[in-house]
Amino acid sequence: MLYDLIKPHSSVSTVGMCKNAGKTTVLNRLIADCAAAGETIGLTSIGRDGERSDVVTGTKKPEIYVFDGTIIATAEEALPLGDISREILETTGMPTPMGEVAVVRAKSDGFIQLAGPSMTAQLRILKAKMAGFGAERVFIDGALSRKSLAMPAVSDAAILSTGASYSRDIEKTVRDTAHAAALMLLPKTERADLSRRTAAKFTVLTDSDAFGCETAADAADRIRSEKAKLLIIRGGVTDANLEALFSAGKALSGLEAVAEDGSRILVSEKNYSKFLRAGAAFTVLESTKLLAVTVNPFSAYGAHYDKERFLDAVRRAIPGEVPVLDVMKEESYA
Amino acid sequence: MLEARQLADIGFDYVLAGLEPWSPFGEELRRRLKPYGKAERAALLGEFRNISVIAEAFSADPSSFGPLARALMQLKDIRRSLQRSRETTLSDIELFEIKRFLILAGSLDEAYSALPFAGELYGIRIFALPEALDILDPDGMRAQTFRLPDGASLLLSEIRKSRKAVDLALRALPQTAENGAERDRLMAERTNLAAKEENEELRLRGEMTRAFSVYADEAETLIESIGKLDLAAAKARLMLTLGGTVPEILPEGGEKRIEFIDMVNPETDAAIKERGRRFTPVSIALEPGSAVITGANMGGKSVAVKTLALNALLAVCGMPVFAKSAALPLLPDIRLLSEDLEDSRGGLSSFGGEMVSFDRILTAAEERPGSLVLLDEFARGTNPHEGSALVRGAVRYFNEKDDTYALITTHFDDVACLARVHYQVMGLRNTDEAALKAALSSPEAGKAPQELLARFMDYGLFRAGSEVNPPRDALKICRALRIREDFMNKVTE
Nearest to A96 by CA among A152, A141, A52: A52
Across the interface, do B145 and A89 touch by the CB < 8 Å criterion?
yes
Q: Is A321 exposed, middle or buried (0-12, 13-18, 19+ CB in 10 A)?
A: exposed
pLDDT, position B24: 97
Q: Where are the domains of chain A?
A: 2-185+288-326, 194-284
> Distance from CA of residue A135 to its chain's centroid?
21
Strands, DSSP E only, in A6-143? Answer: 11-16, 41-45, 64-66, 71-75, 86-91, 101-106, 110-112, 137-141
pLDDT, position B348: 65
**Per-residue pLDDT for B207 more than 80?**
yes
pLDDT, position A196: 61
Mean pLDDT lowest among B62-71, B332-341, B391-400: B332-341
Query: In whole angstroms, what is the distance from residue A85 CA to residue B201 CA?
Result: 10
Q: Higher model confidence: residue A300 or residue B328?
A: B328
Span B134-150, pLDDT tens digits:
999 998 899 999 999 99
Q: How many CB pairs under 8 A join A and B?
A: 52
pLDDT, position B355: 87
Query: In whole angstroms, what is the distance from residue B80 CA to residue B301 CA?
Result: 49
Span A38-88, pLDDT tens digits:
999 999 998 764 454 444 444 456 689 999 999 999 999 999 999 999 999
A2-185+288-326: CATH number: 3.40.50
Which one of B146, B160, B195 has the shortest CB-CB distance to A88? B146
**Per-residue pLDDT for B452 more than 80?**
no
Mean pLDDT lowest among A100-109, A190-199, A280-289: A190-199
- B123 Cα to chain A: minimum distance (Å): 30
Q: What is the mean pLDDT of chain B?
A: 91
pLDDT, position B327: 97
Q: Higher model confidence: residue B449 or residue A138?
A: A138
B chain contacts of residue A110, beta-carbon cutoff 8 Å? 190, 194
**Per-residue pLDDT for B299 more than 90?**
no
Q: What is the mean pLDDT of chain A?
A: 87
Mean pLDDT of A161-181: 92
ipTM score for this prediction = 0.83
Across the interface, do B92 and A86 touch by the CB < 8 Å criterion?
yes
Query: In whole angstroms, what is the distance from residue A304 CA to residue A310 CA?
Result: 10
Span B75-119, pLDDT tens digits:
999 999 999 999 999 999 999 999 999 999 999 999 999 999 998
pLDDT, position A94: 94
Mean pLDDT of A286-295: 90
CB atoms near residue B440 (< 10 Å): 17
Strands, DSSP E only, in B21-99? Answer: none
Span B21-80, pLDDT tens digits:
999 999 999 999 999 999 999 999 999 999 999 999 999 999 999 999 999 999 999 999
Instruction: Mark out the alpha helices in chain A (DSSP H runs).
Output: 2-6, 23-36, 52-57, 120-132, 170-184, 216-226, 239-245, 269-277, 307-317
Nearest to A98 by CA among A126, A75, A72: A75
Query: In whole angstroms, what is the distance from residue A30 CA to residue A23 CA?
Result: 11
B127 touches A: beta carbon within 8 Å: no
Span B361-394, pLDDT tens digits:
999 999 999 999 999 988 887 888 888 999 999 9
Query: In whole angstroms, what is the distance from residue A152 CA to residue B181 CA?
Result: 43
**Per-residue pLDDT for A95 more than 70?**
yes
Query: In whole angstroms, what is the distance from residue A275 CA to residue A254 CA?
Result: 11
A303 pLDDT band, cuts 50/70/90, is: confident
pLDDT, position A255: 93
pLDDT, position B446: 67
Query: Taking CA atoms, what residue in A is nearest to B173?
Result: A333
What percentage of chain A exceeds 90 in pLDDT? 58
Q: Higher model confidence: residue B132 or residue A288?
A: B132
B472 pLDDT band, cuts 50/70/90, is: confident
**Per-residue pLDDT for A298 more than 60?**
yes
pLDDT, position B338: 85
Across the interface, do B163 and A85 touch by the CB < 8 Å criterion?
yes
Mean pLDDT lowest among A153-157, B41-45, B68-72, B166-170: A153-157
Mean pLDDT of A303-330: 87
A334 pLDDT band, cuts 50/70/90, is: very low
| Most confident segment among A180-184, A189-193, B304-308 | B304-308
A194-284 topology per CATH: Cytidine Deaminase; domain 2 (3.40.140)
- B431 Cα to chain A: minimum distance (Å): 47
Across the interface, do A333 and B175 touch by the CB < 8 Å criterion?
yes
pLDDT, position B342: 54
**Per-residue pLDDT for B197 more than 50?**
yes
A301 touches B: beta carbon within 8 Å: no
Grouping H, G, I as helix, E, B as strand and the rest as coil, residue A1 is coil
**Per-residue pLDDT for A259 more than 50?**
yes
Grouping H, G, I as helix, E, B as strand and the rest as coil, residue A208 is coil
A110 touches B: beta carbon within 8 Å: yes
A chain contacts of residue B197, beta-carbon cutoff 8 Å? 85
